[in-house]
Amino acid sequence: MSEELGGDILRIRDLRLSIRRQDSYFHAVEGLSLRVGRGEILGLVGESGCGKSLTALSVPALLPEGVERTGGTIIFDGRDISELGPEELRDIRGSQLGMVFQEPMTSLNPLQRIGTQIEESLELHSGLTRAQRREATFDMIAKVGIPKPGLSSSEAANYYPHQLSGGLRQRVMIAMALVCRPKLIIADEPTTALDVTIQAQIFGLLRSINAEIGCAILFISHDLGVVNELCDRVAVMYAGRIVEEGSANNVFIHPVHEYTKGLMGSLPGRARKGQRLVSISGRVPPPGERGQGCAFAPRCGKVREECFLAVPPKIELGPNHSASCVLADAESEMEYVNI
């Protein structure tokens, strides 16, 4: 473990991801910096199209065709991702870095038994014998809670994906991500396609895995309530940048950035009966239509002239809270006094 890492499993600095169209580039993610500590659950929140999923895919270097990393560094477990060859990358994927995707219905191979699919990572990365792999697979199936009453995990391993419900399939995905005991799991909206009750079960599972195995989780979601429930720390993303970051308590109780405030105001749980939910007017500017200033300025209620001139720098508000807003300083002092 190198010293400059400071215990972080993942450190992203000034990440820039660009979408290539003919001969021009659009920057989907621009200057994003992020860190995930070992064993920590970090929630990455933002609305659709703000670049969350691309950020997630850039870590294992699996960006879709037409999207390129044009700047920044990604340090995973002390190693710069861009300095690794294809072999080394494949070695990391699945063994040290697990991915859980959004669509459990289609992310499993329909023609393979789930046991085989969970075992695949072990086959690729571990030196275990076939019998040991089977055993580890059954253990993992039991751990993520796939067996129903009266069904052993070795029987469950013989199921095909179509025989399982969405929630169980997501458990299979989590088992696949976990079976090699990775140091980090990136979960890209893993519960969006699931019922609310199933969502709660999956959170419970993620939390117990985090406590038991000690793997860090980068949890990506557009749902603040979900993130609040699950995460230690939260990073709020808007138009390709992190606008506010901090411990879940700090961010949720004292949101500083106007965008975070808007998101909080639009949570149904917070409004009183009869009170209208707040909505943020306007829409996310698509890549290519962002000005040189703060991307949120056109929609911001407290916008000033300087907001359009330059991207506001990140301001540390406290030990575990920072925001990129020109208003951050003055307001935060006020709010922290009120505690």
Partner 1 sequence: MRARLFCDRDLRAGLAIVAIVAASALASLVFTPFDPNAMDSGHRFALPAWPHLLGTDNFGRDILSRIMVGARFSLIVSLSTVTIGTVFGVLLGMPAGYFGGVVDEVIMRLVDALTSFPGILLALVAVTVLPSGRYTIVAALGVLFVPSFTRIARSGTLQFKDSEFAASARAFGASGFRVMFVHILPNICPQLLSAIVVGLSNAILAESGMSYLGLGIQPPAPSWGRMLAEAQAFLFNSPWGAIAPGLAIMLAVLGFNRLGEGLRKELGL
DSSP 113: -
Amino acid, single-letter form, for residue 309: L
Tokens 């939910």 sit at which residue? 277
Establish if 236 lies at the interface with partner 1 (CB under 8 A).
Answer: no
> What are the strands of the beta sheet with 184-188, ordered from one edge?
97-100, 184-188, 216-221, 41-45, 233-238, 241-247, 321-323, 315-318
Establish if 176 lies at the interface with partner 1 (CB under 8 A).
Answer: yes
The size of the interface with partner 1 (CB under 8 A), counted in residues, is 27
Establish if 94 lies at the interface with partner 1 (CB under 8 A).
Answer: yes
**Judged by CB, which is closer to partner 1: 130, or 283?**
130
| Pairing between β-strand 67-76 and β-strand 8-21 as defined by DSSP bridges | antiparallel
Which of 85, 110, 150, 319 forms a contact with partner 1 (CB under 8 A)?
110
- Beta bridge pairs of residue 241: 238
Establish if 193 lies at the interface with partner 1 (CB under 8 A).
Answer: no
**Judged by CB, which is closer to partner 1: 106, or 208?**
106
**Judged by CB, which is closer to partner 1: 51, or 94?**
94
Window 1-40: contact mask with partner 1 (x via CB under 8 A) = ----------------------------------------
Establish if 54 lies at the interface with partner 1 (CB under 8 A).
Answer: no
> Tokens representing 317?
């508000």
> What are the strands of the beta sheet with 24-37, ordered from one edge?
24-37, 8-21, 67-76, 79-80
The SS3 assignment for 314 reads coil
**Judged by CB, which is closer to partner 1: 98, or 115?**
98
Question: 118, 103, 99, 27: which is closest to 67 by C-alpha?
Answer: 27
- Beta bridge pairs of residue 44: 220, 235
Neighbours of 268 (CB within 10 A): 7
Establish if 68 lies at the interface with partner 1 (CB under 8 A).
Answer: no
Establish if 111 lies at the interface with partner 1 (CB under 8 A).
Answer: yes
Query: What Å distances lie between residue 63 and 233, 262, 298, CA to CA?
Result: 25, 30, 30
**Judged by CB, which is closer to partner 1: 173, or 215?**
173
**Judged by CB, which is closer to partner 1: 100, or 295?**
100
Establish if 107 lies at the interface with partner 1 (CB under 8 A).
Answer: yes
The interface with partner 1 within residues 112-151 (CB under 8 A) comprises: 112, 120-121, 124-125
Amino acid, single-letter form, for residue 235: A
Establish if 108 lies at the interface with partner 1 (CB under 8 A).
Answer: yes
Which of 43, 46, 60, 240 forms a contact with partner 1 (CB under 8 A)?
60
Taking the complex as a whole, how short is the minimal distance between the CB of residue 75 and partner 1, in angstroms?
19
Using a 10 angstrom Cβ sphere, with 0-12 exposed, 13-18 middle and 19 or more buried, the burial of residue 55 is buried
**Judged by CB, which is closer to partner 1: 43, or 98?**
98
> Tokens representing 213?
């195995």
Taking the complex as a whole, how short is the minimal distance between the CB of residue 320 and partner 1, in angstroms?
31
Contact 255, 327 (CB under 8 A): no
Which of 32, 99, 136, 140 forms a contact with partner 1 (CB under 8 A)?
99
Tokens 């895919």 sit at which residue? 57
Establish if 223 lies at the interface with partner 1 (CB under 8 A).
Answer: no
Establish if 53 lies at the interface with partner 1 (CB under 8 A).
Answer: no
Binding site for partner 1 (CB under 8 A): 60, 62, 64, 90-95, 98-99, 101, 103, 106-112, 120-121, 124-125, 173, 176-177
